[in-house]
A = this chain, B = another copy of it.
Amino acid sequence: MPDQNGASNGARELTYAEALREGLRQIMAQDERVFLIGEDVGVYGGAFGVSAGLRDEFGGERVIDTPISEAGIAGACIGSALTGMRPVGEIQFMDFITISMEQLVLQAAKIRFMFGGKATVPMVLRTPAGSGTGAAAQHSESLENWFVHVPGLKVVMPSSPYDAKGLLLSAIQDDNPVIFVEHKLLYRTKGNVPEEMYTIPLSQANVVRKGEHLTVVATSIMVRRALEAADILAQEGIEIEIIDPRTLMPLDEKPIIESVKKTGKAMVVHEAVKTGGYGGEIVSRIVESEAFGYLEAPVRRLAGLDIPIPYNRTLEVNTVPQVQSIVDEARKLVNGQY
C-alpha cells in the first residue's frame, strides 16, 4: 500500500473531492460492473462536484441522473448489486437518506442474512454529511450512528483525501452494502494522494498522531480539527494521540484500547449530536475492555449540541466542536479537571 506521504509513490496533492473522483474514474475504467447513480451526478457533476466529468467519460448509461427519489436510488443500488453489478449511489445530502431508510435498513442490510447467507449486496452509498455551510437544519445532518446500529451495513467515514480514495476503492470492492459518509467541509481540503489504485482495508483504524497524555478518538472532519488542536496543545506540553476509526462499523477497536491503556485517558470527538451518538459506542468499547483498569479519568464525549443545526452562522459554528473546544476539553481532561 503506498504511503500517504510518499511523493515517491507518485503522490500529488489532490482535494478530497478530486481523490474521490479519481478513485471512481479508475475503478469504472477497470470494472464495468461499477456505475454511478444519483441526483445530478451527471452533467451537473454532483452537488459537490465529486463526479464532475465522469458522465462525459463514461456516458449517461453508467453515470445516471435520477429523479428526486431517494428510496428509488437506494433500491436501484440494491437490485443491481443483488444481480451482479457494483453500483455507487449518491444521496445528495445525508439528510435525504432519511427517505432511503427502509431500503437500506430493511433490505440492503438484511437480504444476505434473511436469505441464509446466499446473496450478496455489494453496493456503496456515498453521501455528504455535516454542518458549516449555512444550509440549516435539513441539510446538515450527521446520521452515521443510525447505520452503525444496523448489522449488515458497513459505515465508512474518511477524514483525508488519501483515505477518501483508498477507502472508497475498498468499499466498492467489498461484497457488503457500505454507507460512505463524506463531509462537505472536507471536499476542498488537500492532501497527498497516490495516483495508483491503492486500497485502504475497511475496519482498520488509523493512529493519526502519536501522544502520551490522552487518547482522542475522532471521526471525519473532527480528525482535522483534532490535529490542529494537537499542535496547540503540544505547545503546552500536552501530547494527544489521535485515532481515526475510519470504518465505524465493523470497528477496529484494538488500537483504541491499546492507546487508552497507554494514556489512561480518553475522549471521543464527533460532529453528530451527542445524545445517542457514536461517542457512546466508543466510550462503551473502552469501558468494557481491559482498558477500564487503566483509566485515570472519566471518558468524555465532545460532540454536537442536542439541537438541530441553526442557520445563523455564529450559532452554527457554536453547535459543533471546533479546534478550540477540543483544545479546552483535552486540557481539562489531561489536567485532571474532570
Q: Residue A105 contacts which of B98, B277, B300, B310 (CB distance < 8 angstroms)?
A: B98
Bound-state Cα–Cα, A142 to B138, Å: 25
Q: How large is the interface on A (under 10, 10 to 19, 20 to 34, 35 or more residues)?
A: 35 or more
Q: Residue A273 contacts which of B149, B279, B299 (CB distance < 8 angstroms)?
A: B149
Do A275 and B283 have beta carbons less than 8 Å apart?
Answer: no
A152 within 8 A of B: yes
A232 within 8 A of B: no
A110 within 8 A of B: yes
Residues of chain B with a CB closer than 8 A to A98's CB: 101-102, 105-106
Residues of chain B with a CB closer than 8 A to A146's CB: 146, 149, 276
The B-contacting residues of A in range 212-229, CB under 8 angstroms, are: none
A281 within 8 A of B: yes
Do B149 and A308 have beta carbons less than 8 Å apart?
Answer: no
Do A275 and B298 have beta carbons less than 8 Å apart?
Answer: no
Do B301 and A275 have beta carbons less than 8 Å apart?
Answer: no
Bound-state Cα–Cα, A39 to B151, Å: 28
Do B148 and A275 have beta carbons less than 8 Å apart?
Answer: yes
Q: Residue A249 contacts which of B114, B276, B283, B308 (CB distance < 8 angstroms)?
A: B276
Residues of chain B with a CB closer than 8 A to A109's CB: 308
Give the nearest-CB partner of A114 in chain B: B137
Bound-state Cα–Cα, A281 to B280, Å: 5
Do A287 and B298 have beta carbons less than 8 Å apart?
Answer: yes
Residues of chain B with a CB closer than 8 A to A276's CB: 145-150, 249, 278, 281
Do A151 and B101 have beta carbons less than 8 Å apart?
Answer: no
A324 within 8 A of B: no
- Give the residue among A102, A138, A147 with the most B Cβ atoms within 10 A: A102
A136 within 8 A of B: yes
The B-contacting residues of A in range 274-303, CB under 8 angstroms, are: 275-281, 283-284, 287-289, 292, 298-301
Give the nearest-CB partner of A155 in chain B: B276
A99 within 8 A of B: yes
A306 within 8 A of B: yes
Give the nearest-CB partner of A142 in chain B: B149
20 A-B contact pairs sorted by A residue (CB < 8 Å): A95-B106, A96-B102, A98-B102, A99-B101, A101-B101, A105-B141, A113-B137, A113-B310, A114-B308, A145-B276, A249-B275, A279-B284, A283-B283, A284-B301, A288-B298, A288-B300, A288-B301, A288-B338, A289-B298, A292-B298
